[in-house]
Structure 1
Amino acid sequence: MAPPALPSPTTDDTPPVRQRRTRRKEARPGELLEAALSLFVEKGFAATRVEEVAARAGVSKGTLFLYFPSKEELFKAVVRETIAGRFAEWNEEFERFEGDSVELVRYCMNSWWERIGQTQASGITKLVMSEAGMFPEIAAFYQQEVIRPGHDLIRRILQRGIDRGEFRALHLDYAVYSLIAPMIFLLMWKHSMSACTPSSAPIDPLSFIDTQVDLLLRGMLVRPTPSTRP
């Protein structure tokens, strides 16, 4: 008689391996986005290779392409996750804000620095500014997902102040840039200009923002009507 067949040595091992792979697979998108953000900020869009992103995340290039079919789509996902996705919460906070518009402007600029400026995502703006000419699709995407919603939100804040009689009438298209410009300066200082700044003259971002808000608001507050001399 032939001896009884022994169980396959791989039968009992298969389920645990499959379970481990499932858990790992679920964790991968976030790890890939984190790795991609780091590399995009360090090297730029053109110089970053998907192989590097996959290796830093600890997965294969094939696994990366399961989630993101191209480097462009990976970049878009990074922007949505770290910047564009913030606008929903900012708009909700705008609707709930009960203070005056002076404090809303101050809150807006400080909140932007805390949630974007002091994080690694702040390097994305420099990347887009540097490489927009080479990658018009990326520039168009950034304009649609970040610049336009940002402009719209700032316009609503300024219009709120005008409607409430707290700000004088402004050319809103240009007034928006007055609030954006200090933020752009901080980003460029953080990622490029700080290396050229003397160590004896460091820039504290929160103090810089506070000073800019003070300068801007003194130009936006309603001007008192001059008294008529007899």
Structure 2
Amino acid sequence: MLPAGEPKFRRRKADRPGEIVEAAMQVFAEKGFAAARLDDIAARAGVSKGGLYLYFDTKDDIFRAVVEQAIAPNVQLARAMLAAHPGPFPDLIRALAAHVGGVIQTTSIGGVAKMVIGEARNFPELARIWHDRLVGPMLDTLAGVIAAAQARGEVRPGDPRAYALQLVAPLLVGVIWRETFAPVGAPAFDLPALIAQHVDTYLGGIAP
């Protein structure tokens, strides 16, 4: 452990890329991609701007690292949970919802997701990375689980991919509300309660 008052830049070099990624995730969530400056990220991480360049060449590289190191592991864990759980389907969906809710509540992923949605037109590479590494694989895995549940007679006939999107969509709306409207005075939603109510409604709707 560092002595009290020890500056971050005195830590082992091996720690610094992770600290930069965590700082960048927070800065992206707060400021967006266009407005985020490398100076902001370096200051939040406790390194010099020159020190930041020892690990990352561009802001795009830092965003990729945020996706790969700070967000993708949560998605991989959720996909592994889906793959390892044979059923019953309602139990699996409730466990998945609890996992996703925990990630949303304890990380800056909601702010980064809002950033990607808001700035994708000007920075399409953000959306491409987000889709290819996170959204696409997760949606495919979830659709496969739903198709398997349909084969077991636990889910009514229908497009599994559409059912997967129906499960995710209200969660995304809740996150966007929290990140966009609540800060300007709109009544906030209790996200865990919203997720629980949505899951109950969803499971009732797709039951045979």
Q: Please, what TM-score do these two structures have when normalized by structure 1?
A: 0.80
Q: In structure 2, list runs of 5 or more residues that go unmatched.
A: 1-8
Q: What is the match of residue 197 of structure 1?
A: 186
Indicate conservation of the 8 Å contact 2:21/2:62, yes or no: yes
Indicate conservation of the 8 Å contact 2:89/2:149, yes or no: yes
- In 1, Cα distance between equivalents of 2:153 and 2:63: 42
**Per-residue deviation, residues 96-155 of structure 1 (Å, max 9, x unmatched):** 325410111121122111123542222111000000000011111111011101211221
Write the mapping of 1:1-230 to structure 2, written as runs, cut at 5 A: 23-194=11-182, 195-198=184-187, 202-222=188-208
**Per-residue deviation, residues 154-211 of structure 1 (Å, max 9, x unmatched):** 212211211211101111232122111111111112211224434xxx5221221111
- In 2, Cα distance between equivalents of 1:102 and 1:192: 31
Indicate conservation of the 8 Å contact 2:79/2:138, yes or no: no
User: Which segment is superposed worse, 91-100 or 203-212?
Assistant: 91-100
- In 2, Cα distance between equivalents of 1:165 and 1:180: 22
- 1:94 is matched by which residue type in structure 2? L
Indicate conservation of the 8 Å contact 1:104/1:157, yes or no: no
- In 1, Cα distance between equivalents of 2:81 and 2:112: 24
Q: Say if 1:180 and 1:81 are closer, same or farther in 2 by CA, change over 3 A.
A: same
Q: In structure 1, list runs of 5 or more residues that go unmatched.
A: 1-20, 223-230
Aligned length: 200
Q: Please, what TM-score do these two structures have when normalized by structure 2?
A: 0.88
- In 2, Cα distance between equivalents of 1:23 and 1:117: 28
Overall identity of the aligned pairs, in %: 35
- In 2, Cα distance between equivalents of 1:144 and 1:95: 19
Aligned CA RMSD, in angstroms, stands at 2.0
